[in-house]
Amino acid sequence: MKGVLFNLLEEFIIENYGEKTFDDILDECSLTTTEPFVGPGTYPDEDLMEIVTKAAAKLGITPDQAMFAYGRYIFPKLVEAVPQFVEHHDHPKVFLKTINDVIHMEVKKMYTHAYTPEFKYFDTEEDKLIIQYSSKRKLYALMEGLIEGVADYFNYTIRRSRKIHDLNGKEVCDFSLYFIPN
Ligand code: HEM
């Protein structure tokens, strides 16, 4: 996982719960990484999961709730990395359909060794979209948090449900989205 995501996790915890809480959480972790996380670096996914899990335990929420809140928080920060691909959009559905082939492609050019999920889109109705997510990481709660961040950003309500299923021996998750302007 790219260092930028670790840096944003630190920022998220410090901004919401303070520096002391963040230091206490790190003290409880036994991370593989000993040096500071730097944006372009790549670090074990397990280290991010451990910080999230320990943070959740400390805050009395589930790891999925922590991942969701983190995803929601980081979306506008991620936009800052590629504003030219976001700012001209005014509908979250049209924007979401660019993540796989435009945004995450750009991310792979910007960061070597970036691994992004694979999205397939099923667009059958005007105010609906199904995103079929496939990734070795299975970060479904992060996905939902990012979608909530997109809803905040575009001032929409996005109702969602998820269905995990098997596709040719591989686990995928269908996120069914319904867009309502606020
Ligand atoms: C402007 C927007 C975005 C930028 C700049 C961005 C960038 C990134 C970066 C840098 C990573 C980490 C790659 C790695 O560690 O190797 C990542 C991962 C990820 N992105 Fe995006 N992203 C954006 C929007 C979104 C949105 C809107 C979604 C969801 C609908 C999304 C879903 C994910 C997920 C779930 C991952 C985790 C990796 C995985 O599941 O395998 N991203 N993205």
Q: Domain coordinates of the chain in residue numbers?
A: 3-60, 78-181
Answer whether 132 contacts ligand 1 (Cβ < 6 A): no
- Fold designation for 78-181: H-NOX domain (3.90.1520)
Res 18: pLDDT = 96
Residue 104 CB-half CA count within 13 A: 13
Burial 105-137 (b: 16+ CB within 10 A, else e): ebbeeebeebebbebeeeeeeeeebbbbbebee
Residue identifier of the C-alpha nearest atom 27 of ligand 1: 146
Task: Determine contact, residues 4/39, Cβ cutoff 8 Å.
Answer: yes
Q: What is the pLDDT tens value at each position of the chain, 182 positions in all?
A: 999 999 999 999 999 999 999 999 999 999 999 999 999 999 999 999 999 999 999 999 999 999 999 999 999 999 999 999 999 999 999 999 999 999 999 999 999 899 999 999 999 999 999 999 999 999 999 999 999 999 999 999 999 999 999 999 999 999 999 999 99
Substitution site in 116, 148, 173 for ligand 1 pocket (most atoms within 8 Å of beta carbon): 116
Res 142: pLDDT = 98
Res 123: pLDDT = 98
Substitution site in 78, 134, 135 for ligand 1 pocket (most atoms within 8 Å of beta carbon): 78
Answer whether 61 contacts ligand 1 (Cβ < 6 A): no
Phi, psi of 173 (to 5 degrees): -130, 125
Res 46: pLDDT = 97
Closest CA relative to residue 100, chosen from 122, 79, 126, 121 = 121
Residue identifier of the C-alpha nearest atom 24 of ligand 1: 99
**3-state class of 159 per DSSP?**
strand
Q: What is the pTM of this model?
A: 0.97
